[in-house]
Amino acid sequence: MRETLLLLHVTTGAAGLLLGPLWLAARLRDRRADGAAAAYLVAVLAVARTGAALALLAPGLAWLAAFGLLTGVLAVSGALARRRAWPHWRSVQPHLLGGSYVALTTGLLVAQTGSPLAWVLPALLGQVPIALAERRLAAAAVPA
């Protein structure tokens, strides 16, 4: 069972890491990209769920299940922010969706390196594209 969960976890994590930039690239070209968005959300929710299950199966790692839950919440909230036109969604959405992608990247780096830097580096480096996305959305809101 653990091997099956791990295979699903790695596969959906890789899918999320590939789909995130595809969705972003489509949005930068002013395309809706509903398919990429839906696929990204499915991948993130699947990797979050399998990650939480794996954490609960491993002795002493149950605390990691919270990261799976948070990653899923970030992705779904980011998608809903724009769709539901939340107040200040242009400021909030890049942080939510960017946060979900940073979580995927962090998981990959922690699993591959085990380095304490892997917990911090993705969040630090992720601030630049998140800030650029926030700036782009804010500029788009200003009437020409």
pLDDT digits (tens, 9 = 90+) for 32-52: 788 888 999 999 999 999 999
pLDDT tens for residues 3-23?
Answer: 999 999 999 999 999 999 998
* Rounded-to-integer distance, Cα 89 and Cα 78, Å: 9
What count of other Cβ atoms lies within 10 Å of the Cβ of residue 66? Answer: 11
The answer to whether residues 9 and 54 touch, using CB atoms and an 8 Å cutoff, is yes
The answer to whether residues 6 and 54 touch, using CB atoms and an 8 Å cutoff, is yes
pLDDT value for 144? 58
Percentage of residues in the chain having pLDDT higher than 90? 61
Phi, psi of 112 (to 5 degrees): -85, -35
* Rounded-to-integer distance, Cα 44 and Cα 96, Å: 13
Q: What type of residue sits at position 58?
A: A
Tell me the CA distances in angstroms from 103 to 3, 10, 75, 136, one per residue in order: 22, 14, 10, 22
* pTM for the model: 0.89
